[in-house]
Chains A and B, each alone.
Chain A
Amino acid sequence: MFGFFERSWDPAAKHCYVTGGSQGLGLALALDLVKRGAHVSIIARNQARLDAALEVLEEARLDKTQQIHAYSFSLATFEESKAALDAACAVHGGRVPDALFFCAGASTPRFFVETSPEQLEQTFVDGYWVQAWSALAAAKMLAKQRAKGVKIVFVASTLAYMSFVGYSSYAPAKTALRALADSLRSELMLYDADVHLFCPPTMRTAGYERENLTKPAITLAIEETDEGISPEDGARAILSGIRSGQAHIAADFLTHLFRASTRGSTPYNNPIVDAVLGCIAWIAVPVWRRSVDARVRKHREDHERYLQTQGFYDAD
């Protein structure tokens, strides 16, 4: 069964493909993989960041034979995502990577009523399509090549399990990624591939700084007790989760609580642990939610004043 035989997964000498690999979680993961002897391809858009990342990875190189490369591609369309994958596989004889880590993504939280249709669409690209297109390219490739044992890891967020004010563009995309991971976990069994989902909480990265530029104040206030994790914590959790064969991987207690109370038909990580988490969540989550709901309701007047100053009520 899933997981029992995975304890031996070792990235050494395996080709690992990491999107969003020039910073944050992606870079931390790429670094970890290089240190374990993997061949690593990192994909991102910004060439300068890729160059800097490559230097970091080179310093950690264990072995002359490791193939460590960086490729500049956008992942916003299928064509570009496929081109990125093809480019990275070229130096490996066109073979599909042994493991793919989709760390690409960005979040731009806003009030729903202040979001334009273009912004809503763009955030879906940033939150969902930049991983889904890579998944489509990879699935077709591994099926065509009849490659066995390929691992695919999606990176969503705690917001794939639950949501609140401010995340109307982000939570739907991350919840969708959860569903894609679950559907593909099921379907890619046809090709002996494994699919994992990692849901990090706040991660202390440059991406998080950018996110906070647009984030509504009430959202920040609700999150303020969430210390978050470092990208290195995240990378460690992913690799440990793959070795344990976990369908859904989490790195912090709160996300584990939400994971256990939003499990549906997803496999559990450990039946006893998950049952205990479920019981805790049964009490703790409604308490948390009621307090969040109360804060949002109290915020109504402030919010109306805010919209007023933004010119929201002025005639179009």
Chain B
Amino acid sequence: MPRWNPAGLHCYVTGGSQGLGLELALLLVKERAHVSIVARDQSKLDAAIRQLEDVRVDESQIIRAYSFSLNTAEGAEAALTAASVPHEGRVPDALFLCAGSARPGFFVEETPAGLQSAFDNVYWVQAWSALTAAKTYAKQRAKGKIVFVSSTVGLMGLIGYSSYAPAKHALRGLADTLRSELSLYGVDVQIFFPPTMQSPGYENENKTKPKITLKIEEDDKGLSCAVAARGMLEGVKQGQAHITADFINTLLRATMRGAAPYNNIVLDTIYACIGNIALPDWRRGVDKLIVKHRKEHEEYLQQKGFWND
């Protein structure tokens, strides 16, 4: 498969004002793409645009920022339409759906609104953009690319992530279905699984994350957003269906392939063999930690007034 090249193409990046989305947008601008970034906060978008302008390569590059909330179908549609205006209404050549945020916590402490909003901020915030893009690609009989961003917890479930993992897994379910279905329209679909990324989003996430979850993750240094973005773009260029940029997620990816294509059959087979031994072993260790944590957890719930009614 020929390497995908963003030069001269219109790339649409949601969550593009910070973290992974911004780092990706910077790379795309440097490679001579036209870039539209979408996010909610206007001041963050303004700051991001200044950074993008600093790395502009060519006068003809169209670099724009749009402030929209993407967790409704209407918002996603309006954003995509707005970004298409400077391109004669043509749907972008590639969409990078980096929008999303996490609030880990214990399941028994979750509220229905909390569970619902986890889905809105993780799944729907990307699914709505995919829906409006797919319809537009089909209507305009245009070819293109949609890239979702999931997570390590889109490849496994873990204590503390019962609100977040289902939504990140759902993105994988959607990406795999659309990889098959959107070939009816000549649209490629790919999905990236970053690990912990050192970003403002991550600081926020750790505020509510259960201690036991933090403990299980303590050895995971994660990646900087810049390194993650480079890994993501490289995987996109190679046309990989499932993209990972770090070893652990690569092991997970190789053992969670479902029906998705191999990236490299030899390497993926080796990773799967390693993963099929290493992952259950890791998980047994985690299970033991959790069982040992029972008493501490009960004290924690007691202190939070869980049994007061």
The answer to whether A296 touches B184 (Cβ under 8 A) is yes
Q: Which of A136, A183, A262 contacts B158 (CB 8 A)?
A: A183
Minimum CB–CB distance from B214 to chain A (whole Å) comes to: 14
Given known contacts A113-B135, A136-B115, A168 and B177 CB-to-CB distance under 8 angstroms: yes
Of residues B139, B261, B282, which shows the largest number of chain A Cβ atoms within 10 Å of its Cβ? B139
* B172 within 8 Å of A (CB atoms): yes
- B173 x A117 contact (CB < 8 A): no
Q: Is there contact, CB below 8 Å, between A136 and B172?
A: no
Minimum CB–CB distance for B252 against chain A, Å:
5
Roughly how many angstroms separate A162 CA and B257 CA in the complex, as a whole number?
Answer: 8
B176 touches A171 (CB 8 A): yes
| Distance between A165 CB and nearest chain B CB, rounded to angstroms | 4
Q: Which residues of A contact B170 (CB under 8 A)?
A: 128, 172-173, 175-176, 179
> Which of B115, B131, B258, B297 is in CB contact (< 8 Å) with A262?
B258
**B interface, by DSSP: helix, strand, loop or mixed?**
helix
- B307–A144 contact, CB under 8 A? yes
Name A187's closest neighbour in chain B (CB-CB).
B159
Closest Cβ of chain A to B217, distance in Å, is 13
Q: How far is the CA of A303 from the CA of B155 in the complex (A)?
A: 32
Does A147 sit at the interface, judged by CB under 8 A? no
B112 touches A267 (CB 8 A): no
Residues 130-174 of chain B, each 1 if its beta carbon lies under 8 Å from chain A, else 0: 010011001100000000000001111111111001111111111
Indicate if the CB atoms of A185 and B177 lie closer than 8 Å.
no
Instruction: Choose from B165, B269, B283 the contact partner of A267 (Cβ within 8 Å).
Output: B283
Q: Are A165 and B181 in contact (CB under 8 A)?
A: yes
Which of chain B's residues have a CB closer than 8 A to the CB of A174? 173
The interface residues of chain A lying within 8 Å CB-to-CB of B108 are: 139-140, 143, 191
Question: What's the minimum C-beta distance from A14 to chain B, rounded to whole angstroms?
Answer: 22
Q: Flag whether B287 is at the interface (Cβ < 8 A).
A: yes
Partner of B177, one of A132, A164, A177: A164
Which chain A positions have C-beta within 8 A of B165? Answer: 179-180, 182-183
A112-B159 contact in complex given A165-B184, A285-B259, C-beta closer than 8 Å: no
Complex contact B178–A168 (CB within 8 A): yes
Q: Is B301 an interface residue (CB 8 A)?
A: yes
Q: How far is the CA of A283 from the CA of B162 in the complex (A)?
A: 33
A186 with B176: CB separation less than 8 A: no
Q: Is B306 an interface residue (CB 8 A)?
A: yes
Query: Which of these binds chain B: A47-55, A228-236, A286-294?
Result: A286-294
Q: Is B110 an interface residue (CB 8 A)?
A: yes
- Closest Cβ neighbor of B210 among chain A residues: A187
Any B CB within 8 A of the CB of A15: no
A313 to chain B: which residues have CB within 8 Å?
Answer: 139
Q: How far is the CA of A174 from the CA of B166 in the complex (A)?
A: 9
Q: How far is A168 from B182 in the complex, measured between Cα atoms in Å?
A: 10
Which residues from chain A contact B138 at a C-beta distance below 8 Å?
113, 307, 312
Q: Are B256 and A183 in contact (CB under 8 A)?
A: no
| Distance between A300 CB and nearest chain B CB, rounded to angstroms | 5
The one of A124, A167, A183 that contacts B161, using a Cβ cutoff of 8 Å: A183
A278 within 8 A of B: yes
Is the CB–CB distance between A264 and B259 below 8 Å?
A: no
Residues in chain B near residue A177, CB distance under 8 A: 166
Q: Give the number of chain B interface residues (Cβ < 8 Å).
A: 73
| Known pairs A179-B169, A263-B256; A190 contacts B297 (CB<8 A) | yes
Contacting residues, chain A, for B185 (C-beta < 8 A): 113, 300
Contacts of A164 in B (CB 8 A): 176-177, 180-181, 259
User: A78's contact among B112, B171, B258, by CB below 8 Å, is which?
Assistant: B112
Q: Is B208 an interface residue (CB 8 A)?
A: no
A78 to B155 Cα, complex, angstroms = 26
Is A183's CB under 8 angstroms from B174's CB?
Answer: no
A97 within 8 A of B: no
Q: Is residue B183 contacting chain A, with contact meaning CB distance below 8 A?
A: yes
Q: Do residues A268 and B280 form an inter-chain contact, with CB atoms below 8 A?
A: yes
B182–A112 touching, CB < 8 Å: yes
Name which residue of chain B comes closest to A2, CB basis. Answer: B287
B107, B115, B156, B256 interface centre (most CB from chain A within 10 Å): B107
Beyond A144-B306, A313-B139, whether A175 also contacts B276 by CB under 8 A is no
**What chain A residues lie within 8 Å of B123 (beta carbons)?**
172, 176
- The stretch from B35-43, B229-237, B288-296 touching chain A is B288-296
Say yes or no: is B11 at the interface (Cβ < 8 Å to chain A).
no
**Complex: how many Å from CA A144 to CA B123?**
30
Closest to A192 in B: B294
Of chain A, the residue at the smallest CB distance from B110 is: A136
**In the complex the two chains form, is A165's CB within 8 Å of B180's CB?**
yes
Whether the pair B183, A297 counts as a contact (CB closer than 8 A) is: yes
Interface centre among B177, B262, B290, B307, by most chain A C-beta atoms within 10 angstroms, is B177
B95 on the A face (CB < 8 A)? no
> A128 contacts which chain B residues (CB < 8 A)?
166, 170
Interfacial chain A residues near B258, Cβ < 8 Å: 161-163, 258, 261-262, 285
How many angstroms from the CA of A172 to the CA of B147 in the assembled complex?
16
Report which of B173, B260, B301 forms a contact with A171, defined as CB distance below 8 A.
Answer: B173
Can you list 11 residue pairs at the A/B interface with Cβ under 8 Å? A1-B284, A78-B112, A112-B181, A136-B115, A164-B181, A178-B157, A183-B107, A186-B290, A262-B258, A274-B276, A292-B259
Closest 9 CB pairs of A and B: A182-B157, A175-B173, A183-B157, A117-B73, A179-B169, A78-B112, A162-B259, A162-B258, A176-B166
Additional 6 contacts, C-beta under 8 A, given A163-B259, A172-B177, A263-B256: A183-B157, A264-B155, A296-B180, A296-B183, A300-B185, A313-B139
